[in-house]
C-alpha cells in the first residue's frame, strides 16, 4: 500500500515564526503536492513538484515555499507564519504520466497560527 506520512498531525505556532511541514512517501513517486483545505474553499494547490529539486507554483503559492532535495521528501515552508495560514495542510503523491494516474494523500497537518 502507498503510504504518505506527514511529520505532525497538529501544530501551533506564533505569528512571524518560520514553520516547516514535512511529507514523506514510500512508493518512489515522482510527483508530490501540497494543498491547504479550508471550510467552503475546498482543496487548493499551493506547490507541486514533478522531480527532485524541481518545484512549480500552484494556485495559492504566496507566503509559502517548498523544498525537494530527495525524491521521497517534500517540505512546505512558511517563512513568516500569519494567522490567515491557519488551515489543514495536506500532502499528496502520485506516479507520473502513466495511463492510470492516482493521487494518494497523507493524514494532514492541522496548523494553528496564533
Q: Which is nearer to other proteins, 44 or 73 (CB)?
A: 44
Separation CA 63–CA 113 (nearest Å): 13
Site for other proteins in 3-32 (CB under 8 A): 4
Between the alpha carbon of residue 31 and those of residues 4, 11, 25, 83, 114, the distances in Å are 12, 25, 10, 29, 32
Answer for which of 24, 64, 106, 113 binds other proteins (CB under 8 A) is 106
Quickly tell me which residue has 514535512 as its cell.
Answer: 22
Any idea what the Cα angle at residue 9 is, between residues 40 and 35, rounded to 5°? Answer: 40
Answer for which of 51, 81, 98, 112 binds other proteins (CB under 8 A) is 98
CB of 43 to other proteins, least distance (A): 4
Segment interacting with other proteins (CB under 8 A) among 60-68, 70-78, 79-87, 98-106: 98-106
Is 45 one of the binding residues for other proteins (CB under 8 A)? yes
Amino acid at each position: 500500500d502507498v503510504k504518505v506520512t506527514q511529520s505532525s498531525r497538529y501544530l501551533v505556532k506564533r505569528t512571524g515564526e518560520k514553520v516547516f511541514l514535512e511529507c514523506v512517501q514510500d512508493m518512489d513517486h515522482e510527483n508530490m503536492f501540497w494543498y491547504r483545505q479550508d471550510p467552503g474553499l475546498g482543496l487548493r494547490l499551493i506547490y507541486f513538484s514533478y522531480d527532485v529539486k524541481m518545484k512549480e507554483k500552484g494556485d495559492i503559492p504566496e507566503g509559502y515555499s517548498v523544498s525537494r532535495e530527495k525524491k521521497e521528501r517534500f517540505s512546505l515552508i512558511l517563512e513568516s507564519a500569519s494567522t490567515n495560514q491557519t488551515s489543514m495542510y495536506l500532502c499528496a503523491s502520485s506516479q507520473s504520466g502513466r495511463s492510470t494516474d492516482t493521487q494518494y494523500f497523507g493524514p494532514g497537518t492541522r496548523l494553528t497560527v496564533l
